[in-house]
């Protein structure tokens, strides 16, 4: 035990690189989560609204959008991450570092989160929408005050799952030069065979996932008045 403590406090990789890598992971997950929320929420609402029993039924558009979302969701993340490298270069200017990792991470999780939003919103009782329409609500008002607000606990739970998936994906982009804890674990832990670095990275990731889950559950519970 004492040996492990000495190792943890003296290993230069752990004392210098680990905090830096953790910060990078937090930054890339944080920014990707923000982009996923901002794009995925409207996309999920759109998917739901375009359905035959939605607010703006449109069969062709619904089919096209559904297909695009399915294609993006079918690709294994590591392949998607490599495939979007040209796009990443075009947007960020480089394909290395945590900023570059945000592009494949966002593209990978937006369709995932959108589907979760779609499911959450579909579970809102149709009677509530009908009541809102009878009371003279406009479509934006129904989207905002009925569909999103009533589905919010489920949307928050879906977002929690999405952020946890993002943490997992962020470790994967580390493998192709994205930085963060994944990069640290692979380069120092695996390739230079330093098991302490490898497992310390794993522990930090476990802590991150646990914190996200606890916070997500707490927020969802506070919002849920059913």
Partner 1 sequence: MIELSGLRKVYPSPDGDVVALDGIDLTVERGTVHGIVGRSGAGKSTLIRCLTGLERPTAGTVTVDGVTISDLAENRLRTARRKTGMVFQHVNLLDSRTIADNVAYPLEVAGVRRAQRAARVAELLDLVDLGHRASAYPAQLSGGQKQRVGIARALATEPAVLLCDEPTSALDGETTRQILGLVSDLRDRLGITVVVITHEPSVVRETCDAATLLEHGRIVQSGALAQVVTQVGSPLSRALVPVPDVPPGRRRRLVEAVFATDAVSTATAFGAVAALGDDVEVLSATVEPLGTLRVGRLLVDTPQERTDEVVALLRAAGLDPLAAPAADDAGQEVA
The contact set with partner 1 (CB under 8 A) reads: 125, 127-128, 130-138, 141, 145-146, 149-150, 152, 223, 225-226
State the Cα torsion 32-38-40-43 to the nearest 10°: -150
Q: Which residue number, 119 or 137, has a Cβ lying nearer to partner 1? A: 137
CA–CA distance, 72 with 122 (Å, rounded to integer)? 21
Q: CA geometry: angle at 163 spanning 161 and 167, to 5°?
A: 115
Closest by CA position to 44, among listed 121, 96, 151, 108: 121
Measured CA to CA in angstroms, residue 56 lies from 7, 47, 50, 142, 164 at distances of: 61, 10, 5, 12, 32
Residues 6+ apart with CB under 8 A from 181: 18, 21, 22, 24, 25, 170, 171, 174, 201, 204, 205
Q: Which residue number, 91 or 125, has a Cβ lying nearer to partner 1? A: 125
Q: Which residue number, 76 or 126, has a Cβ lying nearer to partner 1? A: 126
SS3 at position 135:
coil
CA–CA distance, 80 with 72 (Å, rounded to integer)? 8
Provide, rounded to whole angstroms, the least separation between the CB of residue 155 and partner 1.
11
What one-character DSSP code corresponds to residue 55?
S
Provide, rounded to whole angstroms, the least separation between the CB of residue 107 and partner 1.
31
Do 22 and 181 contact (CB within 8 A), yes or no? yes
Q: Which residue number, 192 or 222, has a Cβ lying nearer to partner 1? A: 222
Provide, rounded to whole angstroms, the least separation between the CB of residue 156 and partner 1.
12
Provide, rounded to whole angstroms, the least separation between the CB of residue 59 and partner 1.
15
Provide, rounded to whole angstroms, the least separation between the CB of residue 219 and partner 1.
14
Q: Which residue number, 72 or 152, has a Cβ lying nearer to partner 1? A: 152
Provide, rounded to whole angstroms, the least separation between the CB of residue 226 and partner 1.
5
Provide, rounded to whole angstroms, the least separation between the CB of residue 135 and partner 1.
4
Q: Which residue number, 16 or 123, has a Cβ lying nearer to partner 1? A: 123
Q: Which residue number, 73 or 133, has a Cβ lying nearer to partner 1? A: 133
CA–CA distance, 193 with 191 (Å, rounded to integer)? 5
């Amino acid at each position: 035990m004492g040996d492990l403590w000495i190792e943890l406090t003296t290993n230069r990789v752990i004392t210098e690189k680990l905090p830096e890598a953790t910060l990078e992971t937090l930054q890339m997950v944080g920014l990707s989560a923000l982009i996923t929320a901002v794009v995925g929420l409207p996309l999920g609402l759109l998917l739901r609204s375009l359905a035959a029993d939605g607010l703006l039924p449109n069969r062709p558009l619904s089919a096209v959008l559904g297909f695009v979302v399915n294609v993006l969701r079918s690709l294994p993340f590591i392949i998607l991450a490599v495939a979007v490298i040209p796009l990443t270069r075009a947007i960020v200017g480089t394909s290395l570092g945590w900023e570059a990792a945000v592009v494949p991470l966002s593209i990978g999780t937006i369709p995932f989160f959108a589907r979760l939003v779609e499911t959450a919103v579909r579970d809102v009782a149709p009677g509530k929408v009908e009541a809102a329409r009878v009371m003279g609500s406009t479509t934006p008002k129904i989207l905002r005050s009925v569909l999103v607000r009533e589905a919010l606990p489920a949307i928050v739970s879906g977002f929690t799952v999405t952020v946890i998936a993002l943490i997992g994906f962020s470790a994967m982009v580390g493998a192709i030069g994205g930085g963060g804890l994944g990069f640290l674990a692979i380069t120092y832990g695996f390739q230079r065979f330093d098991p302490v670095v490898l497992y310390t990275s794993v522990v930090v990731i476990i802590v991150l996932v646990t914190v996200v889950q606890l916070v997500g559950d707490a927020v969802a519970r506070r919002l849920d008045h059913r």
